[in-house]
Amino acid sequence: MDYKQLVTDALAPALPDLDPADILAKLEQPKTSKQGDLAFPTFTLAKVLRKAPQMIATDVVEKIDQSNFEKVVAMGPYVNFFFKKDVFSADILNQVLSQADHFGDGKIGEQGQVPIDMSSPNIAKPISMGHLRSTVIGNALANILSKLDYKPVKINHLGDWGTQFGKLITAYKMWGSEEAVKADPINNLLKYYVRFHQEDQEHPEMDDVARDWFKKLENGDEEATELWQWFRSESLKAFKKIYARLDIDFDSYKGEAFYNDKMQEVVDLLESKNLLHESQGAEVVDLSKYDLNPALIKKSDGATLYITRDLAAAIYRKRTYDFVQSLYVVGNEQTNHFKQLKAVLTEMGFDWADQIHHIPFGLITSNGKKLSTRSGRVILLDKVLDDAVDLAHDQIEAKNPDLKDKDAVADAVGVGAVVFHDLKNERMNSFDFNLEEVVRFEGETGPYVQYAHARAESILRKAGSPELATDGQKISDPAAWDTLKLLSEFPATVVRASTEFEPSVVAKYAIHLAKAFNKYYGNTKILVEDDELNARLALVKAVSIVLKEALRLLGVKAPDEM
């Protein structure tokens, strides 16, 4: 059991007026081990209980069941807990070793389905670092939720519909060639699109042509549909190569186009509830009571919009999955869009609108500048991953030139470094991307955590990979305490990451555990023959299990050697 929970459970009966969650939140780490392993401060209770804090501390100590602890003592205004370290270590090691990668599994999800709208790049454009964030955050949330018995559904809501396809078809018909698209679909399609935007400044008639093509597409015209399908499948092929490198798959690729025939229902519903108003020829839903701009549902030419498709998608997902939560991992810049989406659904009378959560995230900049497709400042993900793998290769070559499977390890380390870096930052924080730092083996990086795991595995190999009893592994050495405590915190960490929708909670935890373990390993001889040898190996094994599982939740591999 979590060492903080153990103390909270001991305190709760002595403090009946306090919510256990408040007790837990108040617990402090004493400055030195002479003051125990965990302390509960009583100052804030003095007012309510009309007693001096010292008195409260003394009273609480008298009321506490101390059997789980070596001792519990009042020290001034604090109640200080000293753990029976050998008992605690045997308990936590038994849990980790016997549950192995199921350690930390939870039941709170009760099999509830959770669609996660993630990645969702736009057809005929490259996947950018921004889409990477959505992809890896969404994937990590899916892993975390699934560990807690939710049923995540990873949905790639492809940007495969909209007026830009009219422009793309127009541009292709003017300058495109089949061979060029086949040879390098994303780059050439992007080139046509960019050129369209350069030339339509001087030739505004191109916009009329483009609008016509999109109309044709919406009406199922054969030529338009064929071209669109071809662009889509070529783009998707390229996207899937990147997903394969990240080892991420999707349960659904139903993009915006899928909702083309489902929007009339939305419009009809809005109409029947008298929510549609005309504004300059367009149809809008007034959202002033939410302090939001009106939601534009239909343009004056009858074309539907991004939000119309999202309304249809939200309703479709509720019907299909009967979700308990519906997540959208989409950049911070679309916050308004998702507020509008929720508000319109609320206006339509769907009480499940409050199960919809936009999970926003900050921008990635490169050398302080924003990355965008229009300005050409795109960092292509494929290239970033290639460079990261090269850097990982260099470091492996320097550190461990005889390693077998060097290529596979460099791949796991390079790709893992990029993913981990993205996830260790709280998602709302913007961050600057510097590849050299990301792939370093020291510091708070993915390779650092992977290396701690590989080191644990190498100790076990050196010890002859013994079968270790799960039970009775007692460690009295105080140097192991930090690592043991952290192991016990893993289950609560996973839960917190799920309620905050914040994979960085798991990433930061992994860094802490790797650091604590490295410190322990640096100060303690593990492979000496004495009474606690097996217990120390059990601790090493437990660290390896939990680091690997934490990395797995983040979508990062943990090679056994590196």
Binding mask 67-106 for ligand ARG (x = CB under 6 A): ----------------------------------------
Instruction: Indicate whether 483 belongs to the interface with ligand ARG (CB under 6 A).
Output: no
CB-wise, 106 or 331, nearer to ligand ARG? 331
Amino acid, single-letter form, for residue 206:
M
Amino acid, single-letter form, for residue 358:
H
CB-wise, 338 or 481, nearer to ligand ARG? 338
Backbone angles phi, psi at 354, to 5 degrees: -80, 0
Amino acid, single-letter form, for residue 524:
T
The per-residue DSSP string of 261-307 comes to: GGHHHHHHHHHHTT-EEEETTEEEE--GGGT-PPEEEE-TTS-B-HH
> Reduced to 3 states, what is the DSSP secondary structure of residue 366?
strand
Instruction: Indicate whether 122 belongs to the interface with ligand ARG (CB under 6 A).
Output: yes
Instruction: Indicate whether 154 belongs to the interface with ligand ARG (CB under 6 A).
Output: no
Closest separation between CB of residue 371 and ligand ARG, Å?
13
Amino acid, single-letter form, for residue 219:
N
Closest separation between CB of residue 359 and ligand ARG, Å?
11
Closest separation between CB of residue 423 and ligand ARG, Å?
19
Instruction: Indicate whether 159 belongs to the interface with ligand ARG (CB under 6 A).
Output: yes
List 2, 37, 91, 117, residue binding ligand ARG (CB under 6 A): 117
CA 297, CA 284: separation in Å to the nearest integer?
A: 5
Q: Tell me, what DSSP letter sits at residue 337?
A: H
CB-wise, 157 or 548, nearer to ligand ARG? 157
Stretch that binds ligand ARG, among 45-53, 54-62, 117-125, 399-407 (CB under 6 A): 117-125
CB-wise, 358 or 393, nearer to ligand ARG? 358
CB 432 within 8 A of CB 367: yes
Closest separation between CB of residue 122 and ligand ARG, Å?
5
Classify the C-alpha dihedral 197-198-201-207 as positive or negative: negative
Closest separation between CB of residue 333 and ligand ARG, Å?
8
Instruction: Indicate whether 304 belongs to the interface with ligand ARG (CB under 6 A).
Output: no
Distances (CA, A) of 281 to 207, 278, 298, 302, 303: 19, 6, 9, 9, 12
Instruction: Name the closest residue to ligand ARG (Cβ).
Output: 159
The CA-based diameter of the chain, rounded to the nearest angstrom, is: 86
Going across the sheet that includes 38-41, the strands are 38-41, 78-83, 69-75
Q: Tell me, what DSSP letter sits at residue 204?
A: T
CB 282 within 8 A of CB 288: no
CB-wise, 157 or 342, nearer to ligand ARG? 157
Instruction: Indicate whether 162 belongs to the interface with ligand ARG (CB under 6 A).
Output: no
Instruction: Indicate whether 310 belongs to the interface with ligand ARG (CB under 6 A).
Output: yes
Stretch that binds ligand ARG, among 114-122, 206-214, 273-281, 289-297 (CB under 6 A): 114-122
Instruction: Indicate whether 120 belongs to the interface with ligand ARG (CB under 6 A).
Output: yes
Q: By 3-state DSSP, what share of the chain in percent is helix, strand and coil, each rounded to 5? A: 60, 10, 30
Binding mask 318-337 for ligand ARG (x = CB under 6 A): ----------x-x-------
**Contacting positions for ligand ARG (CB under 6 A):** 117, 120-122, 157, 159, 310, 313, 328, 330
